[in-house]
Amino acid sequence: MRITCCRFLLSVFAALPAIVLCTEVQAQRPVPGSSMSAPVTSFRPGGYVQNGNGISQNHTTRSTYIQGQAVIKPSGVYTPTGNGYYRNPNTGNVYNPTTGSYTQGGNMQLRPGGYNQVAPGIHVNSTTGSVHVPNVGVAKPSGVYRPMGNGYYQNPNTGNVYNPTTGAYFSR
């Protein structure tokens, strides 16, 4: 069973360059369907420094982080949504102070299951049927996701963003 699984995974990743090339060609076409734009994920600079009272501050972004409680930013107060993410209820934007990711627009879901290493550098999520090769890509039933930084991957066809470590999935 393990050998069959590894052969399958190796064939998937042998085809990954061709799949990525196809997705780059398709990404140049407009996405059919909804006129909603894809979520925009960016990464905020600096880090949080704990001041000894369980409160951390990011002097670069002028933000305060109280783990599990809230993130207070100049743009508003962000409350916990799970897996280390915080959402601003007024704007719907989502922030993760650990990864520095800041996502505007779209919907956020937390995907179940975890990744198990099945071969050196190859991880499989049997719950979702996804394959993750760190810093190379994530092959999901919905397409191939390419690295965009800080552990996040983006599908060039849809613009959807996924973090296999935290399970966060941002879609339109």
CB atoms within 10 A of CB 19: 15
- Read off the pLDDT of residues 115-153 as tens digits, 9 standing for 90 and up: 999 999 999 999 999 999 999 999 999 999 999 999 999
| Side-chain-facing half-sphere of 10: CA atoms under 13 Å | 8
Strands 122-125 and 130-133: antiparallel
25 CB contacts (<8 Å, ≥6 apart)?
none
Q: Taking all residues of the chain, what is their mean pLDDT, rounded to a whole number?
A: 84
Question: What pLDDT is stored for residue 14 in this prediction?
Answer: 53
**Residues in a beta bridge with 108:** 170
Domain ranges of the chain: 2-36+109-171, 41-104
Is 165 exposed, middle or buried, given 0-12, 13-18 or 19+ CB atoms closer than 10 A?
Answer: middle
Mean of pLDDT values over 31-59: 81
pTM above 0.75, yes or no: yes
* pLDDT (0 to 100) of residue 18: 43
Token pair 């109280």: residue: 66
Q: In the structure encoding, which two tokens stand for residue 45, read together?
A: 């600079």
Which residues, in sequence order, are CB contacts of 5 under 8 Å at separation 6+?
Answer: 118, 124
